[in-house]
Structure 1
Amino acid sequence: MMPPPGAPVEELLVARFRGHARRLFWSALVMIGVCGATAFFYDNLPTGFENWMLLAAAAFVVMLLVVFPFLVWLSRTYTVTTRRVIVRDGLGARRRRELSHTRGYSIAVRRGLFQRMWGAGTIALSNGVDAPLRLLNVPNASLVHEVLADQIEVNQILAHRDEHSNFSA
């Protein structure tokens, strides 16, 4: 259903997603390895080492190679609404970039070998003026590409219709 010409269009959420979780594969392997090694060496260390040293080293490795990559992955979200695309990222200081569908932009999809295997891809949105907005490791990249193309088309049709309805009034 199309709103009447000149009426404000409500902004609706189309999709909200994060990058593909496959980048956490190595973190999961590190977690399994650290747990296995800690369990094996606990109370079985050579002389001069203490169990607390083992636990401290395991905790440091888990924080550095498991928790930190997970938080980085968790901190980046992509939102597609009926009016714009929003990218939010950052652990401490949050950064937000937006791109309006009405202005129009080009969509480029790049998919490496592993991204093709998982159905993911990197989508670059460029309006020709600002730096391209990159959506990294997007799951179902072809579906997201189709949704973005549809949103551009609908928003430009609405903008064109509203522009011409103002001239006739």
Structure 2
Amino acid sequence: MAISRSLLNDGENVVVDTRTHVKAIIWPLIVLVVLLAVATYVQVQWNQTLAWVVWAVVAVLVVWYVLRPLVIWMTATYTFTDRRLITRSGVIVRRGHDMPLARISDIAYEFGPIDRMLGCGTLLISDASTHGTIKLHDIPHVEETQRKVNALLQQIHDRSGGNDGV
């Protein structure tokens, strides 16, 4: 489980606990391969001084374009409990947002052809306030997640007496 149990209230249960799909780190891994190939080529074909300069530049680029996205991917989590949506991200500056499920007015998803092939998509969560829609990008098994959250919302609606006396 990606979320710490200490973040949950008494009696609160995790329903969906996920991070963005692994596709979020595909481009950084491609960049890593290309950078290593270029640096290796320069080291073999050119003089040693130029090779050291290229390796230094590659090291900086790897930190920025590979390690940074990887750390962002590893530290961002999205958790739906039976009471709220919990989002957490960041390493040095940790960011979090909690939204009670009772405030969610609509939940939908969208995905394109590549998302369908990879089994992920964007979860669109509309709340009852004027804040608009929260987009959670690249959620694995987005249709299943949407169904689970819809079931939670229905349970909350039923408990609150939303059947209008029928």
Structure 2 length normalisation: TM-score? 0.80
Note the C-alpha offset of 1:43.
5.1
Deviation at 1:104, TM superposition (A): 4.2
Runs of 4+ in 1 over 6 A off after TM superposition: none
Q: Which residue of 1 aligns with 2:148?
A: 147
CA distance in 1, matches of 2:118, 2:50: 43
Aligned residues: 153
Displacement, 1:26?
Answer: 1.5
CA contact (8 A) 2:124 2:135 kept: yes
Larger-Rg structure: 1
Note the residue ranges of structure 1 that are not aligned, 5 or more in a row. Answer: 1-8, 162-169
> Displacement, 1:33?
1.8
Q: Following TM superposition, by how much is the alpha carbon of 1:82 offset from its aligned partner in structure 2, in angstroms?
A: 1.0
Q: Give the Cα separation in 2 of the matches to 1:103 and 1:61.
A: 42
Aligned residues: CA RMSD: 2.3
Residue-by-residue CA offset, 1:53-107 (whole Å, 9 max, x unaligned): 1221110121121111112222321001111111122343222222222344201
Q: Offset at 1:137?
A: 1.0
Alignment partners' CA distance in 1, 2:73 and 2:88: 11
* Aligned partners of 1:77 and 1:89 also within 8 Å: yes
Contact 1:101–1:156, Cα closer than 8 Å, also in 2:
no
After superposition, residues 1-169 of structure 1 pair within 5 angstroms as: 10-42=11-43, 44-46=45-47, 49-131=49-131, 132-160=133-161
Using the alignment, how far apart are the partners of 1:68 and 1:20 within structure 2?
Answer: 16
Q: TM-score by structure 1 length?
A: 0.79
Q: State the identity %.
A: 24
Segments of 5+ residues of structure 2 without an aligned counterpart are: 1-9
Residues 20 and 140, structure 2, Cα contact 8 Å, conserved in 1: yes
